[in-house]
Amino acid sequence: MFENITCEEPEVDRYIPDLAVWPVEVIKWDEWVFAGEMCLFAAEVTTPQQEKRDYAKASRYARSGIPTYLVVDRARRVCTLFIEPKGGRYRERHEVPFGKPVTLPLDTPVTLDTSDF
């Protein structure tokens, strides 16, 4: 497990998601910057007055080709799931209120229980 892992979009920018998943074979244990296009999943948990920033990251993660991006919006009490990146945008966006399960469409789907959010 790493802290402050950086997702790099070459020649554009770097982003530090609250949570991200890369295939184990991509991980170099002595580095902390990894290619965004290799990232399988990224998530952000909003902080007060920073919600717009976390939603704005969707276009950045889509440009990198990250297939699944989740925003846990504590102010609005919803999880917003972005999937199917294409052309710098996610083609699908699904909002799920806290208390309902959110299924992440990974190779092995993961369902999050949001009842305690």
Domain ranges of the chain: 6-112
When pLDDT is averaged across residues 39-61 and rounded to a whole number, the result is 90
Secondary structure of the chain: what % helix, strand, coil (to 5)? 15, 40, 40
Q: Which residue has the higher pLDDT, 49 or 15?
A: 49
Residue-wise pLDDT for 62-106, tens only, equals 988 899 999 999 999 999 999 999 988 999 999 999 999 999 999
**Predicted model pTM:** 0.87
**H or E stretch including 59?**
helix 51-64
33, 20 Cβ separation under 8 angstroms? no
Residue of 73, 79, 113 whose CA lies nearest to 93: 79
Q: What is the pLDDT of residue 69?
A: 96
17, 43 Cβ separation under 8 angstroms? yes
Residue-wise pLDDT for 27-42, tens only, equals 776 666 777 788 889 9
Residue of 39, 102, 108 whose CA lies nearest to 70: 102
d(CA 116, CA 40): 25
pLDDT band with cut points at 50, 70 and 90 for residue 1: very low
Q: What is the pLDDT of residue 95?
A: 97
